[in-house]
Amino acid sequence: MKRITTVFVLFIFLASMASAASEKGIIDQIMDLIRGILSKVGLWSPPTTTTTSTLPLCNPPYIQDGDSCCLDANNNGVCDGVEEITTTTVTTTTSTSTSTTSTTSTTTSTTLKINCYSNIDCGESKEEYVCHNDNVYSKRTSFICMSPGTPSSKCVERQVQDNTPLIKCMHGCAEGKCVNQE
């Protein structure tokens, strides 16, 4: 109880000094001193703050890239769309004779680009209407990642056209539509 009374008296004294001070810097210093004393005796603790993030939550295999997520299929912390693999080969040759030793060292560095890790890296599928035998047919184009995640990876286009007409045209077909003849 004596400790609390002493702290309270000190608090009143310092608070009255703070109100008499005209400079903001002095007031801040006195208030910091009061907070420090109250904190040491367990009568005050600094307020806790919580922050909220507006950044999206990226679930594996995606990682944070600025304010969005990007694919990291090989889990190396680098966005796969901009990643390049660098391989380095070091060759050292040492020859020794009775009087001299010579060492030759050669370093070769090769950068290999990974074109795709999955089909989604190659583009979106699309559907269009085409004319065949004077009728309208549906033709779908999709893209496939061949040898994904390797230096020999590549995107291949695949087209599929229906065997049965989508629309049978009475007067023929042009630019994916039936011709209207009046």
pLDDT digits (tens, 9 = 90+) for 85-117: 555 566 666 666 666 666 666 766 666 778 888
State which of 67-81, 93-107, 137-151 shows the largest mean pLDDT: 137-151
At 76, list the tokens: 């190396």
Residue 53: pLDDT above 60? no
Tell which wins on pLDDT, 22 or 91.
Answer: 91
Average pLDDT, the chain: 76
Predicted TM-score (pTM) of the model is 0.37
ω into 61 cis (within 30 of 0): yes
Spatial CA neighbour of 62 closest among 81, 43, 48, 47: 81
> What does the alpha-carbon distance between residue 83 and residue 65 come to, in Å, rounded to a whole number?
13
Residue with tokens 């061949």: 146
ω into 148 cis (within 30 of 0): no
pLDDT of residue 129: 93
pLDDT band at 2 (very low <50, low <70, confident <90, very high): low
> What does the alpha-carbon distance between residue 94 and residue 102 come to, in Å, rounded to a whole number?
6
| Angle, CA of 176, 177 and 182, to the nearest 5° | 150
pLDDT band at 61 (very low <50, low <70, confident <90, very high): confident
